[in-house]
Chains A and B, each alone.
Chain A
């Protein structure tokens, strides 16, 4: 079955440093979505990427979708303590519900 892998599993940064998480799918995706889950909370939808090579920005967050539509990345510039949480990518093949990656837990040291 489809698998979605994310690296790293965990990252601890100093406030103001940048952060990147990478997502790889075993199959070609029709789209990829990103979610954020705060500690003790539930996943919250951030964004969807559909086109090959697409890049989208939300303030300090930059999302990319690979040319082959099998990988994606999320980059946060100048992290803040409010960025703490687990970031999940979720792949859509168009045939099933979203398959979530294993997530990257981000800890930001003030």
Chain B
């Protein structure tokens, strides 16, 4: 298995531009999570899906952030418009049964820089 696949690995964009991050979870995993990691705030949960349905989006910072999971093999996290404070590493993770047996498998992350 190729693991959780995220793209792009790095993204540099100008303030005000739209940014779309992509994630392909492990086949057969029914839970998907988006986390953001910064030095100041550590690993923060943004949103999680179970069976493609958003269960908890209370971590989404504001209306500029949106996430979709149109099918079991693909999810996107969109920021529009982007701001410098959105600069961070964004991780996607997937798991079976909300990770209660085998934990989460993380992707390699997308390092986003907004200038």
Taking beta carbons and an 8 Å cutoff, which residues of A are in contact with B? 30-31, 33, 35, 41-46, 48, 88, 92, 96-103
| B42–A98 CB distance below 8 A | no
| B95 to A: closest C-beta gap in Å | 9
Q: Which residue of A lies closest to B92 (CB)?
A: A42
| B59 to A: closest C-beta gap in Å | 9
Known: A31-B100, A43-B91. Is A97-B48 also a contact (CB below 8 A)? yes
Interface segment, one of B17-25, B70-78, B79-87, B106-114: B106-114
Taking beta carbons and an 8 Å cutoff, which residues of B are in contact with A? 33, 35, 42-43, 45, 48, 56, 91, 93, 98-109
| A98–B104 CB distance below 8 A | yes
The contact sample of 28 A-B pairs, CB cut-off 8 A, is A31-B100, A33-B99, A33-B103, A33-B104, A35-B104, A41-B108, A42-B106, A42-B107, A43-B91, A43-B93, A43-B106, A44-B106, A45-B102, A45-B104, A48-B101, A48-B102, A88-B43, A92-B100, A96-B56, A97-B45, A97-B48, A97-B56, A97-B98, A98-B104, A100-B35, A100-B42, A102-B42, A103-B43
| B23 to A: closest C-beta gap in Å | 12
B108 neighbours in A (Cβ, 8 Å): 41-42
B101 neighbours in A (Cβ, 8 Å): 48
B103 neighbours in A (Cβ, 8 Å): 33, 35, 45-46, 48
Q: Which residue of A lies closest to B107 (CB)?
A: A42
A98 neighbours in B (Cβ, 8 Å): 33, 45, 99, 104
| A18 to B: closest C-beta gap in Å | 25
| A21 to B: closest C-beta gap in Å | 14
What is the bound-complex CA distance between A102 and B43, given in angstroms?
7
B91 neighbours in A (Cβ, 8 Å): 42-43
| A99–B42 CB distance below 8 A | no
| B45–A45 CB distance below 8 A | no
